[in-house]
Every structure is written in structure tokens, then in C-alpha cells.
Amino acid sequence: MNRNNIDAVSSKVVEYLTKYLSALAMKGSYIVLLLLYAYQSGNVPAWAKRIIFGSLAYFISPIDAIPDLTPFIGMTDDIGLLSFSLVTIACYIDSDVRQKAQNKLQRVFKNKVDWELVDEVDAML
């Protein structure tokens, strides 16, 4: 392989990683926001709030910080747990919770939200 081929492959890998990690960040952020706003909702029973609290506590836990530094593999447990928690309490994610989460997502991502990714998360519910 010559230098030009290596540069082309390298460029494509970086482009893919950037796109993948950006999508992961947006989906993960939206899931966290849905969980937070569901927790604040008056419709959510105590058992569901415990699931939300536990998953968010694990997500921000410093115990899990070192494995999270491993590219790709480190964040899969976090995203998996958050997704499982979201699906478990999905019946308590109403339009008000979604709207609040989407509004906050727009502010966090400065109105550059990929709504297809948001729709993918909403489709899990």
C-alpha cells in the first residue's frame, strides 16, 4: 500500500468514527434527557424512578470511568444500560417528557439535531 492509499483509508476511518461517535453522543444524550424528564414527571411510580436513578448513577459513576476510555467497547455497557432502562419505563415517556427532552437537546446541540437519530430512539419506545 502506498502513502496515498493509506491516507485515503485513514481519512475514511476518521470520517466514519466522527459520524459514529457524533450519532452515539446525540442518541445517548437524548436517552439521558428522556430519563431525567421522566424522573421529574409526576406520573412515574417509585419502582420506575429507582430504575432511572440507578441507571443514571451508573452512567456518571467514576468507577466505570477507566473502561469508558476504551474506544467503542467502553461505552457499550453505558448505552446498553440506559437503553434497557428507557425501554423498561417506556410507558411513562409521554409527549410532555419527549418535548422537554427534545427542546433541551436542541439547546445542547445548538439547533443541529439529527432528527432521524431522535426518531430511532423514539421508535424503541
pTM higher than 0.75:
yes
Q: Which ranges constitute the DSSP H helices of the chain?
A: 3-40, 46-60, 65-68, 73-88, 95-108, 115-124
Q: How confident is the model at residue 87 (pLDDT cuts 50, 70, 90)?
A: very high
Q: How confident is the model at residue 73 (pLDDT cuts 50, 70, 90)?
A: low
Radius of gyration of the chain from its Cα atoms, rounded to whole angstroms? 17
Show me where the domains of the chain are located.
Answer: 3-124
Average pLDDT over residues 43-55: 96
- pLDDT, position 68: 54
The 10s digit of each residue's pLDDT in 2-33 is 676 677 677 777 777 777 777 888 899 999 99
